[in-house]
């Protein structure tokens, strides 16, 4: 099934045979980066570029902007998230006032996102869990997942600390048909527990947060990636990362896909494992590379986000394996970024569209 999904992905990868202008092969915005974590958004944005997107933005905390700009001149850096000072101020506000401030910050953030005219938005790498940042990003995710006024908004990839926002309020992704979440085992357990708590009659917002905080990786995500997509209301593509990555999308109840599946007596949806050989080394940042590569592929995929996810997982794993073969225990994430181009061609061959002269 993963192989079949990669075949689907080969069909939507844009070719270099046809003339195009800067931006047409993808404009990816990464929302993340804080004083603690400046590497994660760089890895995600560089992965989007190395996968073939033309332009990449990082919208980050003001304190992280200098470090992110210094990482690479390729990145367009906008210090558009709440500052440390703003986080301290908002943390002291009463809850109702905090919500109003969050809505304003989310509108501001979405203004910056829209100005980039993105094909995909990757939210979460290095974002952190400060109260003002989480409140603003949670509200922004909710608006992005609705797909914009005409329903033709960018693809949305939620990773790392954006998944904390989903665990605090699972309903923010409800109805999002062009949304992918990329949890590791711990993040999947939190979201599964929160979604189950939120589904109980008369559940309060705090119940989901408490269930998420208490969740441990293990039995909580036993329903697997398909169960998680279903628990989130269907439509959302889930990439459950691990020794093998599981990609799944449950149909939205009442949709044509759900009715067609129901007629066969099946629950419907799609679920498959990507077990392409990866690296035995688990250096931090591989999840960020996956999220960024997925941002580029999702830009081209239309509705077929399971195919984009399968291709992104296989490419990341292939690149990590190549980097490990060269650098062994010294492998770090920038080594994996350098391998993405050739890994792409091994996973999705014959997608360049132009003949290259062979180097002797």
Ligand X SMILES: NC(=O)C1=CN([C@@H]2O[C@H](COP(=O)(O)OP(=O)(O)OC[C@H]3O[C@@H](n4cnc5c(N)ncnc54)[C@H](O)[C@@H]3O)[C@@H](O)[C@H]2O)[C@@H](O)CC1
The Cβ-side half-sphere exposure at 180, using a 13 Å CA radius, reads 35
Residue of 92, 282, 329, 358 that binds ligand ATP (CB under 6 A): 282
The answer to the question of residue 287 lying near ligand X (CB under 6 A) is: yes
Nearer residue to ligand ATP within complex by CB, 54 or 270: 270
Question: Rounded to the nearest 5 degrees, what angle is found at the Cα of 297, between the Cα atoms of 143 and 26?
Answer: 75
The alpha carbons of the chain give a radius of gyration, in whole angstroms, of 20
- Asked if residue 9 belongs to a known ligand binding site, the reply is no
Give whole-number Cα distances, 278 to 10, 47, 52, 106, 246, in Å. 21, 17, 21, 37, 14
Query: Shortest distance, CB of residue 355 to ligand ATP, whole angstroms?
Result: 32
Nearer residue to ligand ATP within complex by CB, 254 or 341: 341
Rounded to whole angstroms, the Cα distance separating 99 from 35 reads 24
Classify residue 221 by burial, with Cβ atoms within 10 Å: 0-12, 13-18, 19+: buried
Q: Which residues contact 31 (CB under 8 A, 6 or more apart)?
A: 58, 59, 60, 81, 109, 113, 121, 122, 123, 124, 127, 137, 140, 162
- Asked if residue 285 belongs to a known ligand binding site, the reply is yes
Residue of 287, 292, 295, 306 that binds ligand ATP (CB under 6 A): 287
Nearest to 44 by CA among 311, 344, 224, 291: 291
Rounded to whole angstroms, the Cα distance separating 196 from 168 reads 12
For residues 96-125, which are near ligand X according to CB under 6 A? 125
**Contact letters for ligand ATP, residues 234-263 (x by CB under 6 A):** -------xxx-x------------------
The answer to the question of residue 126 lying near ligand X (CB under 6 A) is: yes
* Residue in the shown chain whose Cβ atom is closest to ligand X: 39
Nearer residue to ligand ATP within complex by CB, 135 or 316: 316
Positions that interact with ligand ATP (CB under 6 A): 184, 241-243, 245, 278, 282, 284-288, 290, 313, 316-317
Annotated binding site for (6S)-NADPHX: 126, 184-190, 288
Annotated binding site for ATP: 241-245, 278-287
Positions that interact with ligand X (CB under 6 A): 37-40, 125-127, 160-161, 184-187, 217, 242, 284-285, 287-288
């Amino acid at each position: 099934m993963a192989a079949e999904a990669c075949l689907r992905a080969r069909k939507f990868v844009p070719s270099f045979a046809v003339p195009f202008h800067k931006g047409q092969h993808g404009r990816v915005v990464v929302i993340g980066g804080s004083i603690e974590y400046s590497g994660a958004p760089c890895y995600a944005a560089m992965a989007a570029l190395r996968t073939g997107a033309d332009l990449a933005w990082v919208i980050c905390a003001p304190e992280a902007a200098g470090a992110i700009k210094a990482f690479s001149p390729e990145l367009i850096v906008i210090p558009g998230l709440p500052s440390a000072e703003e986080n301290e101020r908002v943390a002291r506000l009463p809850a109702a006032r905090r919500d109003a401030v969050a809505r304003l910050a989310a509108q501001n953030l979405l203004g910056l996102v829209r100005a980039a005219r993105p094909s995909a938005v990757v939210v979460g790498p290095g974002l952190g869990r400060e109260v003002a940042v989480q409140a603003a990003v949670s509200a922004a995710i909710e608006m992005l997942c609705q797909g914009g006024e005409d329903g033709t908004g960018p693809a949305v990839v939620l990773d790392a600390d954006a998944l904390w926002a989903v665990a605090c309020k699972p309903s923010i992704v409800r109805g999002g048909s062009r949304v992918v979440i990329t949890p590791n085992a711990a993040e999947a357990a939190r979201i599964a527990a929160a979604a189950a708590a939120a589904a109980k009659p008369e559940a309060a917002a705090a119940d989901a947060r408490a269930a998420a905080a208490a969740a441990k990786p293990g039995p909580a995500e036993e329903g697997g990636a398909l169960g998680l997509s279903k628990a989130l209301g269907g439509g959302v593509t889930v990439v459950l990362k691990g020794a093998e990555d599981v990609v799944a999308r449950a149909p939205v109840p009442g949709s044509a896909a759900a009715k067609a599946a129901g007629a066969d007596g099946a629950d419907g949806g799609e679920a498959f494992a990507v077990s392409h050989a990866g690296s035995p080394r688990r250096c931090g940042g591989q999840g960020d590379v996956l999220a960024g590569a997925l941002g580029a592929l999702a830009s081209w995929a239309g509705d077929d986000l399971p195919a984009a996810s399968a291709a992104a997982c296989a490419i990341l794993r292939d690149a990590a394996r190549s980097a490990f073969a060269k650098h062994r225990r010294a492998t770090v994430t920038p080594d994996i970024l350098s391998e993405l181009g050739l890994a792409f061609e091994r996973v999705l061959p014959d997608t360049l569209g132009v003949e290259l002269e062979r180097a002797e």
